[in-house]
Homo-oligomer: A and B are copies of this chain.
Amino acid sequence: MEKKISTAVVRRLPRYYRYLSELLENGIDRISSQELSRAMNVTASQIRQDFNNFGGFGQQGYGYSVEVLKEEIGRILGLDQQFRVIILGAGNLGQALAGYGGFARRGFIMSALFDVNPEKIGQKVGDLVVRDMKDLARYVRENTVHIAALTLPKAKAPEVAKTLTDMGVHAFWNFAATDLKLPSDAVVENVHLAESLMRLSYNIVNQSRDE
C-alpha cells in the first residue's frame, strides 16, 4: 500500500502544477529541482522529496521534463478526470463560481446552480439557469454529481449537506462559515474567506515580528 501523503504536500501540489503550466506556456520544456526551487521559493530538496512521494519523475543528470511532470502531477490531482459540480446558493459567490470559466479547463464542470429565492429561480447565470432548491433531490437522482459547492448561509449549509450525503454526494467545497459534521467517507475542502481575511489582518498588525 502507498504511504500516506501529508496535507503539507497536497497543499503544494496545485502550486507546482500552476508553475509547470506557466513554464510550458513559456516554451520551457526542461527544469531542474534547483531552478524550480529558485522560481517557487521552496528548497530543491523539498521539491525532490515531494515528487518522490509518488515515484520519481525525473532523470538523473538531466532534471525534469516540464511536460511529463505537469502531466503526472495533474494525474495525481485527478485533473485527467471530469468532475461535475453543483452549486448550492446562487448568491454573489455562487454566481461567481458558476460564471468563472477557468474551472472547466481543469475538468470541473459547473453543471447546476440552486437557490431557494423565487426571484432568482429561472434567471440565467453564465450558461446555467438557477434551479429551485426543491428540485435538488430529483436532480441528484437523475444526474451525476461529484462535488457540491456550498455557497449558502451558514445556518442552511449543514442541512443541505446532510441531504446531499444521504443521496450519495460525498465531496464538498464549503464556503459557508461553519464546519460541517459529515460521515467519515465525506471529503471536504473549506474556503473560509472571513478567516482568510483575519489571517491577513493578523499579519498586518503583527508585521514587525517577522522583520
Assuming the A-B contacts A4-B210, A197-B103, are A10 and B96 also in contact, with contact meaning beta carbons closer than 8 angstroms in the complex? no
CA distance A76 to B209 in the complex (A): 13
Asked whether A173 is an interface residue with its Cβ less than 8 Å from the other chain, the reply is: yes
Residues in A76-122 with C-beta less than 8 Å from chain B? 76-79, 81, 83, 91-93, 95-97, 99-100, 102-103, 106-108
Interface SS of A by simple majority: helix
- B196 and A189: CB pair below 8 A? yes
CA distance A177 to B194 in the complex (A): 19
- B187 and A204: CB pair below 8 A? yes
Asked whether A146 is an interface residue with its Cβ less than 8 Å from the other chain, the reply is: yes
In whole Å, how far is A77's beta carbon from the nearest beta carbon of chain B? 5
- B195 and A83: CB pair below 8 A? no
Residues in A167-211 with C-beta less than 8 Å from chain B? 171, 173, 177, 184-185, 187, 189, 191-207, 209-211
- B196 and A173: CB pair below 8 A? yes
B-side contacts of A205, CB under 8 Å:
76-78, 81
In whole Å, how far is A67's beta carbon from the nearest beta carbon of chain B? 18
- A201 and B100: CB pair below 8 A? no
Set B14, B96, B97, B194: member contacting A195, Cβ < 8 A:
B14
Instruction: Please list the residues of chain A having a beta carbon within 8 angstroms of any beta carbon in chain B.
Output: 2, 4-5, 10-11, 13-15, 17-18, 76-79, 81, 83, 91-93, 95-97, 99-100, 102-103, 106-108, 146-147, 171, 173, 177, 184-185, 187, 189, 191-207, 209-211
